Structure 1
Amino acid sequence: MVKAMKEKFNKYWEEFSDILAIAAVLDPRLKLAFLEYCYNILDPDTAKLNVEYIREKMVKLYGAYKKDTSITRASTSHAPRHSIPSGYDGFYAYCSQKTGGSGKSALDTYLSEPVVDIDSFRSLDAVSYWKDNASRFKELSSMACDVLSIPITTVASESSFSIGSRVLNKYRSCLLPTNVQALICARNWFRGFQEIGDEIEFTS
């Protein structure tokens, strides 16, 4: 039994969740240093490879956001920029060229900055951080808000649908989807409500 449990444990930790790792990197208190620390605990030999793998995934994802934003800007380039004060168009273009000419993307800039002190910012809201820094990181801010807004569950997907094997079996394998739904709802209805006794008092 212990051997079987050990095999399941090893299988669980062999399959890293890319999206959870990316979400951890997008927390300014953690970044890639946290991943490197965790991967070193699990397996020091493959830690650097795993960190580099996640970094490549982030670069690819960031490239997709950058591409979408450039297409949107090109389609709306004829529209006037109301957010820029009158007379500052030339200065804005100059600053944009200077920033873009450094060859450093917003993702590189974010990862190269030191981590935020986790002790001083224990209650830091990562989504609020990215919203507040949207003007600095632009497309990266949109990417971070999208990734951090994904509802994460730790329940295995097969356990969520394990009831299906008790509804659809070899004796009832040709049920219509509506009948399967009715059976599951009826099961939840019967088991989900407690029996009402005389001791329950109803108040208005």
Structure 2
Amino acid sequence: MEVGDDDNGNEQDFENEVLLTVESFKGLENLSIEDKLFGITLDNASNNQVFINELSVQEFLKYLDQELGLSQLRQLLNKICASTQRCEKLSLACKNNSIDDLKPIIDVPTSYTLTEEQWNGLRKIVDFLELFKEVTAVISGSTYSTLFMMILLFNFLINHVEDIIGDENEKVNDENDDENDDENIRIEKSIKKAAKYCKDKLLKYYVKTNNVYSIAVILDLRLKIQYFKDEEWDDDLINEINQNFVNIFNSNYATTSLNSNISFTSKEKSVISHKFKTYIALPTVSGKTLDPLKWSRINETQYLQLSKMAHDYLAIPATSVPSEQCFSISKNLITNNRNCLIGKTIRISIYLKS
């Protein structure tokens, strides 16, 4: 069979992927951390909350840009200013119509006078986007556990967008707009329709969330499985989440100890099972300052296996921001005058941010 150029490219890509996978696992084995691996993500949008926020915001702004025509105005100004002849013709046309000949600032997309209604519309857009900014800042933290927040913040953003949209049955299509609507009403409708696009983008990735997020929620004593019940999730889905948590605990943690060479007797396994059921039966606690990782560390002697599970899951950052920040500070660490550091010193310095 003859192989075309595209097939050769695909075959080469596949070989590179296999080689990368093999080398990656060799590195994990050399570091003895292969048993800590849950999965490998290559900037996957379904697991990248910051990127998903950006996608939904861009979807919101893209519609508003089409509706209000800001990009078209900017393109027109660019074309005029790019030609001396066009500028002269525009200047002459302004003089013939008694209009001041002003030079537009092409580097500023909105370099024209806005009406009061348009300013009000921009304020509403800023208010809408403010929550996305706050959520991004929260889940990008590196000094506290963030994984358990993912489902909560996703729901929070979806509720926020739905509040802006209002009644889903309300028709806000362009063809149904009343020509007599004033500018305030037109801008309000545009924002609502843009919010619907934003919601669609959020929901597209919401259904792709990984099981690690629901496990992290259950491991937080303030939330546990009760969170999904309070949010009125479907009973079948709640049972599936709970069963998945139990299966992972039983297969990976119920028969493990601090010493991997120790095996448990039937009696000891029964005690572990009892402690697990005790934790599951514990009521949720209140407290915004409660750190689930610290709680598991404090109660490690009582819930050893659950504590180990919490350390494995809750230590996972919800985004790649903390690790990217570590890489970005390396340019300030290794300079022309400081270029002979050994690997261990570099790792410690990055960790201590010194």
The TM-score normalised by the length of structure 2 is 0.31
Q: Match of 1:193?
A: none
Residues in 2 aligned to 1:61 and 1:7: alpha-carbon distance in whole angstroms: 32
Match of 1:49 in 2: 236
Secondary structure of residue in 1 paired with 2:261 = helix
In structure 1, distance between residues paired with 2:247 and 2:254: 10
Distance 1:4 1:128, change over 3 A: closer
* Match status 1:72 vs 2:261: yes
Query: Matched residues in 2 for 1:104 and 1:67: separation?
Result: 10
Q: Which runs of 5+ in 2 are unaligned?
A: 1-62, 64-192, 325-354
State the match for 1:10 in structure 2.
203
Please give the residue correspondences for 1:82-93 in structure 2 after superposition, counting only pairs within 5 Å: none
Alpha-carbon distance in structure 1 between the residues aligned to 2:274 and 2:239: 17
In the other structure, the counterpart of 2:293 is 127
Identify the residue that residue 109 of structure 1 maps to in structure 2: 278
Aligned to 1:19: 212
Q: Is the 8 A contact 1:25 1:35 kept in 2?
A: no
1:144 offset after TM fit, Å? 0.9
Q: Mark the CA change 1:68 to 1:12 in structure 2 (over 3 Å): closer, same or farther.
A: same
Separation in structure 1 between the aligned mates of residue 297 and residue 202 of structure 2, nearest angstrom: 38
Asked whether the 8 Å contact 2:253–2:306 carries over to 1, the reply is yes
Q: Deviations over 1:76-135 (max 9, x none)?
A: x9xxxxxxxxxxxxxxx9xx94x755794433211111111x1xx321111111111111
- Say what the alpha-carbon RMSD is for the aligned residues: 3.3
Q: Residues of 2 paired with 1:113 and 1:154: CA distance?
A: 33
* Cα shift at 1:9: 3.3
Residue 125 and residue 136 in structure 1: after superposition, are their counterparts in 2 closer, same or farther (change >3 A)? same
Deviation at residue 5 of structure 1 after TM alignment: 4.6
Q: Secondary structure at the match of 1:66?
A: coil
Matches within 5 A, 1:178-197: none
Alignment-derived partner of residue 167 in structure 1: none
Cα 1:59/1:8, change in 2 over 3 Å: same
Please state how far the C-alpha of 1:66 moved relative to its aligned partner: 2.0
- Cα distance in 1 for partners of 2:298, 2:271 equals 23
Q: Which amino acid aligns with 2:261?
A: T
Distance 2:261 2:306 in 1: 15
Distance across 2 between alignment mates of 1:49 and 1:143: 24
Larger Rg: 2
Mapped to 2, the partners of 1:132 and 1:142 lie a distance apart of: 12
Counterpart-to-counterpart distance in 2, 1:125 and 1:132: 11
Alpha-carbon distance in structure 2 between the residues aligned to 1:11 and 1:132: 39
Distance of 1:115 and 1:6 partners within structure 2 = 30
Change (3 A) 1:154 1:36: farther
Contact 2:296 2:310 in 1 (8 A): yes
How far did residue 154 of structure 1 move? Answer: 8.0
1:190 maps to what in 2? none
Query: Are residue 37 (structure 1) and residue 230 (structure 2) matched?
Result: yes
Conserved? CA contact 2:218–2:225, under 8 Å: yes
How many matched pairs?
Answer: 128
SS in 2 for 1:136: coil
Percentage of identical aligned residues = 26
The one-letter code of the counterpart of 2:254 is K
Unpaired runs of 5+ in structure 1? 78-92, 161-204
How far 1:142 sits from its partner (Å)? 0.5
TM-score normalised to structure 1 length:
0.52
Name the residue aligned to 1:147.
313
Distance 1:102 1:125, change over 3 A: closer
